[in-house]
Amino acid sequence: MLAALLAVGPAFAQHLLVPMDDAQSDHLRAYGLTWWCLDEPRAHECEWLLNYRFGSFLLPDLPDVRARADELGVSFEPVSAAGLAEIDGVIERSNMQRLQLTKAPKIAVYTPAYTEPWDDAVTLALTYAQVEYETVWDREVIRGGLADCDWLHLHHEDFTGNYGRFFTSFGDAPWYRRQVIESRAAAEDVGFAGVQACKQAVAATIAAWVAEGGFLFAMCSAADTLDIALAAQGVDIVPALIDGTPVDPDAQARLDFTATLAFRDFTLTTDPLAPEIADIDVSPGQTAIISQGQVFELFEFSARQDPVPTMLTQCHVGQVADFLGQTTAFRRECLKDSVVVLGDFPGLDRVKYIHGGYLQGVFTFLAGHDPEDYAHIIGEDATDLSLHRHSPGYRLILNNILFPAAKTRERKT
């Protein structure tokens, strides 16, 4: 620890350092504290010290900030002017950067009303970190509900209208029947004849929002099915056994890969009973055999030349335990050339964590369902994040909610 940091007495200093190394008592709520400082009416300016003590935060030393940190159980260290100068010296000599955070992003989570909040790792993380968010679903998206939000999360939604391909295994389950009923009702409310057409329109609306400057973060099946829906605009790919919609026999030939965000040259699955809709995902059947106990590696980027991927990979470990999902990993050969790989399985045909730009906006996709639940099973108990306060996988999620705070460009509306 820097000697100058310890020289500060009980009086208030200029800054508080929120360390993100082993000195931190709650890595996840440290993000919540920083978001709280940025949020109105406080609007405190904060800094993200990229790569310094694994992505620490520099906050103003104010009574309300100290009180909030104590309330959340977040560790902090007072920093004097001399201490800050010493930190600057370390940063100047290393692959590090002081990055100013100016505004808390307005966060929206795309989720239906019937979904349990704990069934989505991001809402679980936001709730535990005490970061405020609103929810939107098909009706709100189609009716312009994304206009006022900066950051949107998608989780295990199926944007192709296939209901996650759960028809054969859970077709009689109450939760599945409710999903079908609610999806059809929402489609009808916004003027669509069927769920597939509605989901395609929702996907196109989300893509247009990103193109105008939005920040999109997707996990699990939402990441690949969003791009499948974008490529298949106006193409019928829903099996007849679900919605009575005939599958277009020329669907594959009619896919438009120029409309997608991250993936290209993928092949649709012709078997309506297969769990995968396309070959973007490395199937859980294959992955379950090889990934128990396996890790994916985070790339190290230049904090000065590549601040965006550096922000998204801030973590106190370089390797993160793998975890399954409806989409467990992305097939490497399906990535567009413009996509940046953030988390990788070296030597294998799959990647875990990717990022890219889409006109004025950006997207980040993380495969898998729950970083602290290797094989999440439908209906099992919620993950208790108080038991996983130092979770590397959940840190990757929370990196994404502060990422827009470092951006000052205006979005088109």
What span, in angstroms and rounded, lies between the C-alpha atoms of 50 and 166?
Answer: 42
What span, in angstroms and rounded, lies between the C-alpha atoms of 326 and 317?
Answer: 25
pLDDT at 243 over 70: no
Give the model's confidence band at 265: pLDDT under 50 very low, under 70 low, under 90 confident, else very high: very high
> What pLDDT does residue 1 have?
39
Report pLDDT digits (tens) over 116-151: 655 788 999 999 999 999 999 999 999 999 999 999
Instruction: Report residue 136 as tokens.
Output: 């939107």
Give the model's confidence band at 166: pLDDT under 50 very low, under 70 low, under 90 confident, else very high: low
Report pLDDT digits (tens) over 291-316: 566 899 999 999 999 999 999 999 99
Q: Which amino acid is at 90?
A: V
Mean pLDDT (the chain, rounded): 88
> What pLDDT does residue 273 have?
73
What span, in angstroms and rounded, lies between the C-alpha atoms of 41 and 269?
Answer: 50
The domain defined by 107-406 carries CATH number 3.30.70.2190: no
Report pLDDT digits (tens) over 357-369: 999 999 999 999 8
pLDDT at 274 over 90: no
Domain ranges in the chain? 3-101, 107-406
Give the model's confidence band at 277: pLDDT under 50 very low, under 70 low, under 90 confident, else very high: confident
Give the model's confidence band at 238: pLDDT under 50 very low, under 70 low, under 90 confident, else very high: confident
Mean pLDDT score, 346-357: 95
Find out whether 251 and 244 touch, Cβ atoms under 8 Å.
Answer: no
Find out whether 281 and 365 touch, Cβ atoms under 8 Å.
Answer: no
pLDDT at 285 over 80: no
C-alpha radius of gyration, the chain, whole number: 22
Q: What global pTM score does this model have?
A: 0.91
Euclidean distance between the first and the last CA atom of the chain, given in angstroms as a whole number: 46
CA 72 to chain centre: 23
Q: What is the sign, positive or negative, of the torsion defined by CA atoms of 135, 138, 139, 143?
A: positive
> What pLDDT does residue 157 have?
85
> What pLDDT does residue 6 have?
36
Report pLDDT digits (tens) over 194-218: 999 999 999 999 999 999 999 999 9
How open is the CA angle 150-153-159, to the nearest 5 degrees? Answer: 120
Other Cβ atoms within 10 Å of 154 Cβ, number? 26
Mean pLDDT score, 344-369: 95
Q: What is the sign, positive or negative, of the torsion defined by CA atoms of 204, 207, 209, 215?
A: positive
